[in-house]
Amino acid sequence: MEDAAPPRTPEREAFYEELAPRHMAPLWEVLRALITREPAGPCVPVIWHYDEVRPYLMRSGALITAKEAERRVLILENPALAGKAAATHTLYAGLQLILPGEVAPAHRHSQSALRFVLEGEGAYTAVDGERTYMSPGDFIITPSWTWHDHGNDSDRPMVWLDGLDIPLVSFFDASFMEPGNAETQLVTRPDGDALARYGSGLLPVDWKPAGKTSPVFSYPYARTREALEQMKRRQDWDACHGLKLRYIDPSTGESAMPTMSTFMQLLPHGFAGASYRSTDGAVYVCVEGRGETRIGDQSLAWGPRDVFVVPSWAKHSHRAAAESVLFSFSDRTVQEKLGLWREERAA
């Protein structure tokens, strides 16, 4: 297939003009833009340094209450997708603030959501009758169409990264939302019930899945960090990723969420990763350490709580100036199920 469209002639121009009022168009004029040789999305690398964005987040807390806003969030928007509330083509990201004594009221929606805790301790997320109290580094799931609310009983602000599949659900025109009839939902299960019941290598004998999301909705950072430490002892480093783990549904081994894959990786001090790219654009958060990610001819220097985007099919490599931990999420699980996901490592 040639890269250029066929040349235009007066006869062809006249034909195209006749097609337009009939809501038709010639494929050969746009074929090369529709079916590209490689991914050619508009997303660009971008980083939000937490120390720079935090003052704006705190100012939002003085301007509007969590109840009035329903969700007091500052959207992290890719510069190439201005006005679309998207970090990548398929992923939404935002920073949510809950101040002491506040409640973000209960609602539910068809979009799946994740929370990755950045700052504070002691606030909670409640999902379908169970509360989980949050600490930095915790990964928490709000499955599609589950009631959820957030509250802060501590004496400090609580901030977390929201990740949702809003652009993906919007593409399918499948968005539904329902407000709750109370600010907080009735707690019907003790704290930690889901993790104890489903996250210990055991399942209730007659348990059957209720949906496509992991029955464990809170993955504490302490357990994740311990797993990375155990793996580190083997010194079995991947040339591109260091040590990279994926969060799973323990009942199936599949991705913990049906539309978003989630990962945690450890980079040793001095790590200089080999070049890598894949078709899933990803949102990263630095949990510990400091370093940089080189994306094409750009270099994004990151430290704790900084958030950055690696676009689809962008060659990139991670470098760690100190032992570092990175959390990330992408649409890899959807691409894999559709047979679309592809990766390329440096030769």
Following DSSP, what letter does each residue of 188-206 receive, concatenated? -B-TTHHHHHHSSS---TT
Yes or no: say if 96 and 54 are a contact pair by the CB < 8 Å rule. no
Question: Which tens digit of pLDDT belongs to each residue from 230-262?
Answer: 999 988 899 999 999 999 999 999 999 999 999
Residue 102 has pLDDT above 70, yes or no: yes
Q: Output phi, psi for 172, to 5 deg.
A: -80, -5
pLDDT for residue 84 is more than 80: yes
Residue 182 has pLDDT above 90, yes or no: no
Assign domain 46-345 one CATH number from 2.40.30.10, 3.40.50.40, 3.90.1200.10, 2.60.120.10.
Answer: 2.60.120.10
Contact 107, 180 (CB under 8 A): yes
Q: Is the pLDDT of residue 115 over 60?
A: yes
Q: If you average pLDDT over residues 179-190, what whole number do you get?
A: 90
pLDDT in tens, 305-324: 999 999 999 999 999 999 99
Q: Stretch 10-29: mean pLDDT, rounded?
A: 97
pLDDT at res. 235: 85
pLDDT confidence bin for 185, thresholds 50/70/90? confident
Long-range contacts of 219-223 (CB under 8 A, 24+ apart): 219/138, 219/139, 219/140, 219/141, 219/247, 219/256, 220/135, 220/138, 220/195, 221/117, 221/135, 221/136, 221/137, 221/138, 221/139, 221/287, 222/135, 222/137
Summarize the confidence of residues 146-155 as an average pLDDT: 96
Q: What is the mean pLDDT of the segment spanning 28-50?
A: 95
Residue 1 has pLDDT above 70, yes or no: no
In this predicted structure, what is the pLDDT of residue 152? 97
Structure tokens at 263: 């990962």
| Short-list 117, 118, 114, 142, CA closest to 130 | 142
Cβ pair 307, 201 in contact under 8 A: no
Mean pLDDT of the chain: 95
Is the pLDDT assigned to residue 203 strictly greater than 90?
no
> Residue 125 — very low, low, confident or very high, per pLDDT cuts 50/70/90?
very high
In the Cβ-directed half-sphere of 42, how many Cα atoms lie within 13 Å? 11
Q: Which two tokens stand for residue 287?
A: 């949990």
Confidence of residue 4 (pLDDT cuts 50, 70, 90): confident
Give me the pLDDT at residue 3, please.
72
Which of the two residues, 14 and 347, has the higher pLDDT score?
Answer: 14
What pLDDT does residue 2 have? 62
Residue 24 has what pLDDT? 98
pTM here is 0.96
* Structure-token match 């899933």, residue found: 280
Share of the chain above pLDDT 90, in %: 90
